[in-house]
Amino acid sequence: MRKTTRRVIAASNLLGELGKLERLIEQIPDIEADALVLLGDLAPREAGTRDYARLFRLLTHVDLPTFYLPGCQDAPIEEYLREAANIEVVHPQMHGVHGSYAFAPGHLLVAGLGGEIVDDPETAREERECLRYPGWEAEYRLKVLWELKDYPKLLLFTTPPAHKGLGEDGSQTVAELIKTYNPKAALIASTERKQERLGDSWVVMTGSLAKGEFSVIDLREERLEPGSIA
């Protein structure tokens, strides 16, 4: 049994490319890692219950604690949630953390919110055509982290944080959540790999699994190791 979580395999934007996921899973035994993180968009647009069922069945073959988060196009949300709920009852190593949290080995708290997070408080929330949430809802759904402030944290988002110092566009709400809860790292769904500091936290853009990319994140040394599907 793993006693700590130091190295995390992270990838995003699967877009239903289950063949790419199968090949990543085949490589995992050769990678020294303690957990797997998969960020949306998980399935193709218009995906149904069967699409998510196939995805989650594949993930049950991963011999690591696995955490996942839906992306903007993983809608309607009930298709994703129904299959996540079904699979997690049988496979306790699997954890959906959309507006929720779970623990990785070593009491590392993993939490996040998927979909698009929009700073404008008047933004209408949407979970049918796409996943979109006003910033105040993201703040409200993650406020439970105040009660868990003593645990080291790994935050997951599919919306990038704004970074005024670097002049990068993104959500100011996500940036404030990262600064407020001060995680060891924040992993962000992205089509390219990138890393930066935001406050005291390390922010990592993971790369696109649909393009055959993933990253190995060393949380202790704050080192990103690029990986690719063999």
Please tell me the pTM assigned to this model: 0.96
pLDDT score, position 165: 60
Calpha distance 129→57 (Å, rounded): 25
pLDDT score, position 168: 72
For residue 2, tell me if it sits in a domain: no
For residue 166, tell me if it sits in a domain: yes
For residue 115, tell me if it sits in a domain: yes
- How many helices and strands in the chain, by DSSP H and E? 5, 14
Q: Which CATH number covers residue 153?
A: 3.60.21.10
Phi, psi of 74 (to 5 degrees): -85, 65
For residue 219, tell me if it sits in a domain: yes
Pairing of strands 223-228, 35-39: unpaired
β-bridge partners, 213: 228
For residue 89, tell me if it sits in a domain: yes
Instruction: Quote the number of domains for the chain.
Output: 1
Which of helix, strand or coil describes residue 201?
Answer: strand
For residue 184, tell me if it sits in a domain: yes
pLDDT score, position 166: 61
For residue 163, tell me if it sits in a domain: yes
Calpha distance 188→178 (Å, rounded): 11
For the chain, which residues score pLDDT lower than 50? none
pLDDT score, position 150: 95
Give the closest residue to 74 by CA, choosing from 119, 152, 127: 127
102-111 in b/e form (b: 16+ CB < 10 A) is: bebeeebbbb
For residue 203, tell me if it sits in a domain: yes
pLDDT score, position 1: 57
* DSSP notation for 126-159: BSSSS-EEEHHHHHHHTGGGGGGTTS-EEEEESS
Residues of the domain holding 114:
7-228
pLDDT score, position 3: 86
